[in-house]
Amino acid sequence: MGKTIIISNRLPVQLQISNGTITATPSVGGLATGMKSVHSGSESLWIGWSGLTDEETPPELEDDIDKALAEQGCAKVNLNAQEIDGFYFGFSNRTVWPLFHYFLEYSEFELDFWETYKSVNQKFADAIIEQSDEDDTIWVHDYQLMLVPQMVREKRPNTTIGFFLHIPFPSYEIFRTLPWRKEVLEGLLGSDLIGFHTYDYERHFLSSVRRLLGLDVSFNDVYLDNRVIKVDSFPMGIDYKKFKDAAIMHDSKKSKERSDLQMRLDNHKASAPDTKLILSIDRLDYSKGIAKRLNAFEYFLKKYPEFKEKVRLIILAVPSRSNVPQYQLLKKEIDELVGRINGELSTVNWTPIWYFYRSLPFESLIDLYTSSDIAWLTPLRDGMNLVAKEYIATRTDQTGVLILSEMAGSAYEMNEALLINPNNFEEQADTLKQAFYMPVEEQISRNSFLQKRLERYNVEVWANEFMNALNEKRDIGKAFISE
């Protein structure tokens, strides 16, 4: 049996060059953090973009870059600035991302973006062909590479190819608006197995296949020429042990080993023991509902003024896709909202919102998760939302309240959380109040169910289930060919 080749636009690390030295930082986002755990424990090769354009890569450092990546089991696909513009900032993040997250009005249908998306997908497919053997198993990830399965299939008809979509697949009524809808479906159907986070996304996809391509679909099998493509849902888990162990380690740290952030959080607890910390962590993305959350927080404080000086909202927003105009506008909107709300409601002793716009190291995420009484995550649409799962995994004493949008894929598996509709301010204000007063016994009872489920269905189990289903397809295919 051959090896597994993982392909995604983002590699688990992002390279930067400063003063002729290469540095690598971990990539942010569910795909990278989840797959990193799967990749590190296996013999797989991970192919993707390094984060540097050709123009940013000095030719004399090419070999060093390849070596640095090879040490991590990775290989890069070279992309120039124009390709990144049309493929990544363009079709991936100005066309597909908004459309698949139901932001129809943000989605731009530009022929140039589409052309570059096609040619860059071909580059990824060529890199796979070059770096893999016929008996290797190919696992393609996410919306940036939806044409790759078919492109690989054309050159390697018998190779086993899996595809996993990390974002929602929208309903047929939304998807049908895409001018290149057929090409995208045909690209995906080059796979043997197509996976989604939830049963709903799977159904939406099958409905589009049936209605747009007129193909036969039986249960979750699609019939195309002489092939049967299996479609299924695999809700992605987290590296539960990594988060739990990090939280245990964090709890055992002596005071002098504590980070500056942790000391600030500790001081907060000591000086205002009755005040509760409410945490939200997201990439700065309109799909995450950050601006609405800020408005809902203001509404909550106006509806229940008794909570003034009793709660503090920590917003950690990680910079993301800052060349895309919608993200620039959102950044401005959030800066203004935080300024206005803090300006209007702060008192001498209290600032309602602490706002961080940066990427923090893993240890700081753990500081935040473990110090916060409530996690409040309000995406308007989210394929999964791993932050919700990570928060629960770090709660070593099983206290803490998770308030989670029902529009997140993770809500399907996290029924014991307080589920809310992010557009309903009334409901959110009442839920924040409920969270504030929730008895400790109830918190422990809810979280123990959640933790058991997350521990059992962790990211390794998720990857194994996907790979087992893919291998099963390969074995059936081989038996069929040899008949």
Q: Residues in the site for ligand ADP, rule: CB under 6 A?
A: 28-30, 33, 281, 283, 316, 318, 359-360, 365, 384-387, 390
Q: What is the DSSP string of 395-445?
A: -TTS--EEEEETTBGGGGG-TTSEEE-TT-HHHHHHHHHHHHH--HHHHHH
Q: How far apart are CA 153 and CA 150, in angstroms?
A: 5
C-beta closer to ligand ADP: residue 24 or 209:
24
Q: How far apart are CA 325 and CA 224, in angstroms?
A: 39
Give the list of residues 6+ apart from residue 422 with CB closer than 8 angstroms, or none.
289, 292, 293, 296, 378, 379, 380, 405, 407, 428
Is the distance from CB of 316 to CB of 360 less than 8 angstroms? yes
Is the distance from CB of 85 to CB of 135 less than 8 angstroms? no
Rounded to a whole number of angstroms, the minimum distance from the CB of residue 420 to ligand ADP is: 17
- The answer to whether 73 contacts ligand G6P (rule: CB under 6 A) is no
C-beta closer to ligand ADP: residue 172 or 234:
234
C-beta closer to ligand G6P: residue 321 or 433:
321
DSSP 27: P
C-beta closer to ligand G6P: residue 101 or 453:
101
Block residue for tokens 């709903």: 200
> Site map for ligand G6P, 133-152, x if CB under 6 A?
---------x----------
3-class SS of residue 225: coil
C-beta closer to ligand ADP: residue 166 or 204:
166
- The answer to whether 77 contacts ligand G6P (rule: CB under 6 A) is no
Out of 7, 10, 69, 178, point to the residue binding ligand G6P (CB under 6 A): 10
Q: How far apart are CA 361 and CA 259, in angstroms?
A: 11
DSSP 79: -
C-beta closer to ligand ADP: residue 206 or 403:
403
Size of the site for ligand G6P (CB under 6 A): 10
C-beta closer to ligand ADP: residue 15 or 384:
384
- The answer to whether 29 contacts ligand G6P (rule: CB under 6 A) is yes
Block residue for tokens 């607890």: 269
- The answer to whether 167 contacts ligand G6P (rule: CB under 6 A) is yes
Q: Where are the alpha helices (DSSP H) in 218-271?
A: 240-251, 260-271
Residue least distant from ligand G6P (Cβ): 29
Which residues share a beta bridge with 231? 194
- The answer to whether 320 contacts ligand G6P (rule: CB under 6 A) is yes
Rounded to a whole number of angstroms, the minimum distance from the CB of residue 162 to ligand G6P is: 16
Q: Which does 359 bind (CB under 5 to 8 A by kind): ligand G6P, ligand ADP, none?
A: ligand ADP
Out of 181, 203, 310, 321, point to the residue binding ligand G6P (CB under 6 A): 321
Distances from the Cα of 216 to the Cα of 145, 191, 268, angstroms: 25, 16, 60
Is the distance from CB of 138 to CB of 8 less than 8 angstroms? no
Rounded to a whole number of angstroms, the minimum distance from the CB of residue 281 to ligand ADP is: 5
- The answer to whether 390 contacts ligand G6P (rule: CB under 6 A) is no
Rounded to a whole number of angstroms, the minimum distance from the CB of residue 381 to ligand G6P is: 12
Q: Which does 142 bind (CB under 5 to 8 A by kind): ligand G6P, ligand ADP, none?
A: ligand G6P
Q: Which does 365 bind (CB under 5 to 8 A by kind): ligand ADP, ligand G6P, none?
A: ligand ADP
Residue type, 163: F
Q: What are phi and psi of 225, to 5 degrees?
A: 50, -125
| Beta strand ranges found along 93-167 (DSSP E) | 137-141, 160-164
Report residue 131 CA to chain centroid gap.
27
C-beta closer to ligand ADP: residue 35 or 193:
35
DSSP 52: -
> Site map for ligand G6P, 30-49, x if CB under 6 A?
xxx-----------------
C-beta closer to ligand G6P: residue 95 or 443:
95
C-beta closer to ligand ADP: residue 360 or 461:
360
Q: Which does 10 bind (CB under 5 to 8 A by kind): ligand G6P, ligand ADP, none?
A: ligand G6P
Rounded to a whole number of angstroms, the minimum distance from the CB of residue 31 to ligand G6P is: 4
Half-sphere exposure of 12 (CA within 13 A, CB side): 19
Residue least distant from ligand ADP (Cβ): 30
Report residue 290 CA to chain centroid gap.
16
Rounded to a whole number of angstroms, the minimum distance from the CB of residue 67 to ligand ADP is: 25
Residue type, 215: L
Q: Using alpha carbons, select from 231, 257, 122, 246 the residue that is nearest to residue 183.
A: 122
Distances from the Cα of 323 to the Cα of 58, 82, 84, 206, angstroms: 23, 13, 11, 33
Rounded to a whole number of angstroms, the minimum distance from the CB of residue 259 to ligand ADP is: 14
Rounded to a whole number of angstroms, the minimum distance from the CB of residue 228 to ligand ADP is: 31
Of 28-36, 207-215, 322-330, 451-459, which part binds ligand G6P (CB under 6 A)?
28-36
- The answer to whether 166 contacts ligand G6P (rule: CB under 6 A) is yes
Q: Using alpha carbons, select from 11, 86, 8, 20 the residue that is nearest to residue 50.
A: 11
Per CB under 6 A, residues contacting ligand G6P are: 10, 29-32, 142, 166-167, 320-321
